[in-house]
């Protein structure tokens, strides 16, 4: 398998102490989160940071969907009871779990060499990562742009390799589509790991992997790339052996 392309950000992209963090406003307001822009200003230079803050949503954590079992799985009995009884403590517990889950996933993928925004730190209701954009203009999502066919073919190849790298780190994105891929300096940057699952232990991992590949492929098909989803699944490393335990238990 080809080596990962050079990292998106130099290892020293983030200014060190002493610095001032200056809020620069809201970049995007989504259904479940708000992404804020923050300028970290040091004596000599400034780094731009994106802070994803999760909204408190009564319904979100309570989706009674087996595909979220990975998020539901951890935690003690008191927490489990509170969540089940939908108490305030339960709300907070599940909120914290979601944020922690996304942060941990981002960090793991970054370390595995997947093209994601470098993680910075956790904050009270979310986490911080490198801002992907030029000046204070955020990079567009793939959905917002049309790639020419030749570029689309190359980028589709890259995206398949990114999915493969994720799988090698035992992660399935779970919500992959052109909405969650930023286009920046000729690179596809994967974001939004709120629905990621563990590829080894999660019962729906293979189903989610197939859905990720299909949804991601559909953008590139629109851009004129001829795609055989079965071949793509082979490229990303899907195989009966990898998911054998899941097949047995289904
Ligand atoms: N690191 C980043 N740099 C620049 N822009 C970002 C970054 N992270 C997120 N964004 C922008 O914020 C949007 C929302 O982020 P994300 O997809 O993680 O959250 P979400 O809760 O799924 O939001 P939505 O409901 O809009 O899908 C992204 O589509 C992207 O435009
Ligand atoms: Mg999203």
The whole-number pLDDT of residue 171 equals 97
Residue 31 CB less than 6 A away from ligand 1: yes
8-state DSSP, 124: T
**Token digits for 89?**
């403590």
Of the two residues 87 and 222, the one the predictor is more confident about is 222
Of ligand 1's listed atoms, the one at least distance from the Cα of 117 is 1
Distance 249 CA to ligand 1 centre (A): 35
- Residue 71 phi, psi dihedral angles, 5° rounding: -80, -35
pLDDT tens-digit readout, 25-39:
999 998 889 999 999
The whole-number pLDDT of residue 236 equals 98
- Residue 99 phi, psi dihedral angles, 5° rounding: -65, -45
Residue 192 CB less than 6 A away from ligand 1: yes
The whole-number pLDDT of residue 108 equals 98
Residue 142 CB less than 6 A away from ligand 1: no
The whole-number pLDDT of residue 129 equals 98
Mean pLDDT of the chain: 89
Answer whether 115's CB lies under 8 Å from 5's CB.
Answer: yes
186-222: string of b/e by CB count within 10 Å (b at 16+)?
ebbbbbbbbbbbebeebbbbbbbbbbbbbbbbebbee
Distance CA 199, CA 174 (A): 10
Residue 52 CB less than 6 A away from ligand 1: yes
Looking at domain 20-56+95-249, its CATH architecture is: Orthogonal Bundle (1.10)
Where are the CATH 1.10.510.10 domain residues in the chain? 20-56+95-249
Average confidence (pLDDT) over 68-87? 69
Distance 28 CA to ligand 1 centre (A): 7
Distance 122 CA to ligand 1 centre (A): 16
Best mutation site among 9, 52, 107, 175 for ligand 1 pocket (most ligand atoms within 8 Å of CB): 52
Of the two residues 235 and 32, the one the predictor is more confident about is 235
Nearby residues of 69 by Cβ (< 8 Å), 6 or more positions away: 202, 203, 204
Model-level pTM? Answer: 0.90
User: Quick one: which ligand is closest to 30's CA?
Assistant: 1
Beta-strand ranges (E) seen in 177-222 are 181-184, 187-190, 197-198
The whole-number pLDDT of residue 15 equals 98
pLDDT tens-digit readout, 96-136:
888 899 999 999 999 999 999 999 999 999 999 999 999 98
The whole-number pLDDT of residue 75 equals 67
Distance of CA 182 to CAs 133, 139, 165, 176, Å? Answer: 9, 6, 18, 11
pLDDT tens-digit readout, 161-206:
999 999 999 999 999 999 999 999 999 999 999 999 999 999 999 9
């Amino acid at each position: 398998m080809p080596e990962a392309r050079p990292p998106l950000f130099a290892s020293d992209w983030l200014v060190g102490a002493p610095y001032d963090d200056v809020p620069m406003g809201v970049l995007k307001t989504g259904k479940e989160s708000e992404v804020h822009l923050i300028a970290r200003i040091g004596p000599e230079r400034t780094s731009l940071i994106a802070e994803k803050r999760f909204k408190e949503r009564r319904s979100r954590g309570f989706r009674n969907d087996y595909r979220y079992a990975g998020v539901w799985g951890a935690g003690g009995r008191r927490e489990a009871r509170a969540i089940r009884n939908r108490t305030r403590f339960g709300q907070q517990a599940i909120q914290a779990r979601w944020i922690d889950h996304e942060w941990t996933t981002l960090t793991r993928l970054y370390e595995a060499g997947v093209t994601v925004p470098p993680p910075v730190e956790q904050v009270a209701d979310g986490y911080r990562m490198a801002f992907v954009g030029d000046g204070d203009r955020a990079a567009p999502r793939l959905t917002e742009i049309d790639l020419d066919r030749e570029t689309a073919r190359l980028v589709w190849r890259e995206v398949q390799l990114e999915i493969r790298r994720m799988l090698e780190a035992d992660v399935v994105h779970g919500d992959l589509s052109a909405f969650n891929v930023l286009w920046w300096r000729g690179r596809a940057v994967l974001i939004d790991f709120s629905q990621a699952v563990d590829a080894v232990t999660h019962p729906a991992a293979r189903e989610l992997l197939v859905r990720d590949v299909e949804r991601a492929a559909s953008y590139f098909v629109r851009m004129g790339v001829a795609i055989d989803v079965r071949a793509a699944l082979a490229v990303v490393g899907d195989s009966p052996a990898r998911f054998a335990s899941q097949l047995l238990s289904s």
